[in-house]
């Protein structure tokens, strides 16, 4: 959605308009759009994207028109606190709050994975840093202690794949937007659980790919929800998919000829989540084979097998829920027990009002 | 899918055809269709439904034609063991096996919730029992020790909502088909997580309903995946939905005016799974209010709050996975930890070859 809005904004600039870009940099309680959501306004009066359920866009539209009138405007950070009455009307849970940055739209750095840090208010208002995690390059104009803080926060944001807003002294706010491809689940084995898993994974906005050398299995008719289907063995498919450590691999074929190389190659690429279907006895026999073919105990210990959380899943769709829940838990380092029986924070990072 | 096949079979009978009905009564390893799946053949040569990925229907078609030719045929139980070579071609994981019953199609007892038991082979071949769990009525012709065994197995099948096949002495096989409405998830609060939850729940083939008195929230535009949307308070909506103990309730509004009666009424209807969104502090305050308004500690202890498994869910879709995984685990009495870290059986009931 952001991509569309930014493309539209680029088009408006290309034809000569001034364009203002509003970005959600912080939310508290039930804000309707996540951090990083954008809303663009052209000097011709057009709008694209959204930063709320519609309740604050009108105000931002006005602020953007004022910005076009005053060419020297620096970036602004605007706070919206939503009263309970308004909340009920516009679809916000009571007490939602959001902070929106407003600035002239500029071409954004092209990043596959990394972060963009911007400081609001103070002497360096609008200055920032850009970190490209693929090349390791760090560029930008932010200086002094703020640069040190920004570098640390960028490292956090990249590791957690989450945008971060920090309150600093003197009303300074540091916003670090995390840029990362949507998480990807690679499923080896075009079995019935694969379709259920791809369908549920897509619901999260994540990407999916199916790998299966068996042409009768690996068809779009059997797995219509998959983004990509490769009728190949893992050694051919992984390079084609550019499989990397950040991916999540789920191996479902039950056939050692396919499962063993699928797992072994992934362990050697240091793919973080490698899940494998099969009974406990299947796991033992497979682990023995993987050990014989040269995988270390440490590598084998990383396999999530039997794959999925212990929820008594039975049907393919239930198994898909068990697997996807385990992957989400893996990403946030959580154990999967009912929250009722645990203590501590519910979300991996929860914004709180200062 | 079964319903369609049975309707088609009824139509064939109505126009004067003989009809044979094949039913999957037992599976071992990766059989492509679950227990209870049906395949019908008419004496005019038509087919409907399926009991496998297509590999055994041809054989059943032939057996059905033989049955039409020989009017005295008793029910048969046919075993299909699938070789690895065939498995690869037809979409079965290697070694899948299934047992299929074949009999003349008869009008089935109309049950909302209950079980149908049938014995195969031996003196009472084809005799059975029908249990209606709503009325408690048990009818049928099965006699002696077999009746006792069938009654016990019916109780198990109804409690687990799962069909059961039992091997008995002398090649007897008891098949108990569980009849039950698809599980239902009632969501109070037409918030963003509600749509994600309804969408994922539908993927399981379950039913969903939304309850929210706020007309701006409770719209098909906001929650397109819900089967039913009631713009009402819980005290009106629950009777309309015929809410019962077998339902699963998830309360999401964050608003005590709606959440408190939604939970309190459900606890007093003995709804088994009552999940409630909100921070740990919200739970404490809500529990205190529920206690004050007359709910017992035992009732309050049954609430799943904070709702969902501890997987670090953040987005609405991730939260939906956490909730649905908890509900599946609740239904099978499982804890939710990664299977990797648990011991024992993976599925709540797993068919094994004798």
Helices (H) and strands (E) in chain A, counts: 10, 16
B184-332: CATH topology is Rossmann fold (3.40.50)
Phi, psi of A346 (to 5 degrees): -85, -45
Q: How many CB pairs under 8 A join A and B?
A: 200
Q: pLDDT 10s digit of each residue in chain B, 354 long?
A: 567 888 899 999 999 999 999 988 887 766 667 778 899 999 999 998 888 766 688 889 989 998 998 876 678 888 887 655 555 444 454 456 788 999 999 877 888 899 999 999 999 998 999 999 999 999 999 999 999 999 999 999 998 888 888 999 988 999 998 888 889 999 999 987 999 999 999 999 999 999 999 998 899 988 999 999 999 999 999 999 999 999 999 999 888 999 999 999 999 999 999 999 988 888 899 999 999 999 999 999 999 999 999 998 888 899 999 999 999 999 988 888 877 776 666 554 433 333
Q: Are the Cβ atoms of A338 and B335 closer than 8 angstroms?
A: yes
Both structure tokens of A115: 């972060």
Residue B20's DSSP bridge partners are B41, B104
pLDDT digits (tens, 9 = 90+) for A218-277: 999 889 999 999 999 999 999 999 999 999 999 998 889 999 999 999 999 999 999 999
Q: How far is CA B281 from CA A344, B227, B266, B286, B305, in A?
A: 11, 33, 22, 9, 11
Question: CA B198, CA B207: separation in Å to the nearest integer?
Answer: 8
* Nearest CB to A317 within list B93, B204, B318: B204
Instruction: Show which of residues 286-325 on chain B sit within 8 Å of chain A, judged by CB atoms.
Output: 303-315, 317-318, 320-322, 324-325
Question: CA A312, CA A319: separation in Å to the nearest integer?
Answer: 8
Residue with the two structure tokens 């038509």? B46
What's residue A354's pLDDT? Answer: 30
Please give the radius of gyration of chain A, using alpha carbons only, rounded to the nearest integer. 23
Q: Hey, is the C-beta of A281 within 8 angstroms of any chain B C-beta?
A: no
**Domain segments of chain A as ranges:** 2-179, 184-332
Q: How far is B320 from chain A (nearest CA, A)?
A: 10
Instruction: Show which of residues 111-130 on chain A sit within 8 Å of chain B, judged by CB atoms.
Output: none
- Sort out which chain A residues have CB atoms less than 8 A from B325's CB and list them: 309, 311, 321-322, 325, 336
Q: Hey, is the C-beta of A196 within 8 angstroms of any chain B C-beta?
A: yes
Both structure tokens of A305: 């097998």
Tell me what percent of the residues of chain A surpass a pLDDT of 70: 89
Residue ranges, chain A, pLDDT below 70: 1-2, 29-32, 53-55, 72-73, 82-96, 342-354
Interface test with A, best of B339, B343, B345, B347 (most A CBs within 10 A): B339
What's residue B273's pLDDT? Answer: 96
Interface test with A, best of B1, B157, B309 (most A CBs within 10 A): B309
Q: Hey, is the C-beta of B280 within 8 angstroms of any chain A C-beta?
A: yes
What's residue B344's pLDDT? Answer: 64
Q: In this structure, how many other beta carbons lie within 10 angstroms of the beta carbon of residue B20? A: 24
């Amino acid at each position: 959605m952001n991509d569309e809005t930014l493309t539209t904004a680029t088009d408006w600039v290309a034809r000569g308009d001034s364009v203002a870009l509003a970005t959600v940099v912080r939310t508290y309680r039930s804000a309707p759009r996540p951090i990083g959501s954008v809303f663009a306004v052209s000097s011709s009066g057009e709008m694209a994207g959204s930063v709320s359920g519609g309740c604050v866009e009108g105000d931002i539209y006005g602020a953007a028109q004022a910005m076009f009138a005053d060419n020297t405007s620096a970036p602004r950070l605007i706070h919206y606190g939503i009263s309970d009455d308004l909340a009920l009307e516009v679809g916000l849970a009571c007490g939602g709050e959001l902070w929106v940055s407003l600035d002239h739209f500029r071409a954004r750095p092209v990043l596959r994975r990394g972060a963009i840090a911007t400081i609001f208010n103070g002497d360096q208002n609008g200055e920032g840093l850009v970190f490209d995690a693929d090349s390791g390059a760090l560029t930008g104009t932010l200086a002094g202690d703020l640069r040190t803080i920004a570098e640390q926060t960028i490292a956090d944001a990249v590791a957690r794949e989450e945008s971060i807003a920090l309150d600093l002294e003197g009303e300074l706010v540091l916003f670090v937007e995390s840029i990362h491809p949507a998480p990807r689940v690679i499923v080896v084995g075009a079995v019935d659980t694969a379709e259920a898993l791809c369908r549920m994974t897509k619901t999260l906005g994540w990407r999916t790919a199916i790998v299966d050398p068996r042409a009768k299995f690996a068809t779009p008719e059997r797995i219509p929800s998959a983004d990509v289907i490769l009728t190949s063995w893992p050694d051919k498919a992984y390079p084609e998919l550019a499989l990397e450590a950040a991916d999540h691999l789920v191996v479902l074929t039950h056939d050692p000829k396919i499962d063993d190389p699928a797992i072994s190659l992934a362990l050697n690429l240091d793919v973080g989540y490698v899940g494998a279907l099969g009974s406990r006895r299947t796991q033992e026999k497979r682990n023995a084979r993987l050990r014989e073919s040269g995988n270390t105990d440490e590598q084998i210990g990383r396999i999530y097998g039997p794959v999925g959380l212990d929820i008594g899943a039975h049907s393919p769709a239930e198994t898909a829920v068990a697997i996807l829940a385990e992957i989400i838990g893996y990403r946030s380092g959580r154990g999967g027990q009912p929250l009722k029986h645990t203590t501590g924070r519910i979300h991996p990072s929860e914004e709180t009002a200062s």
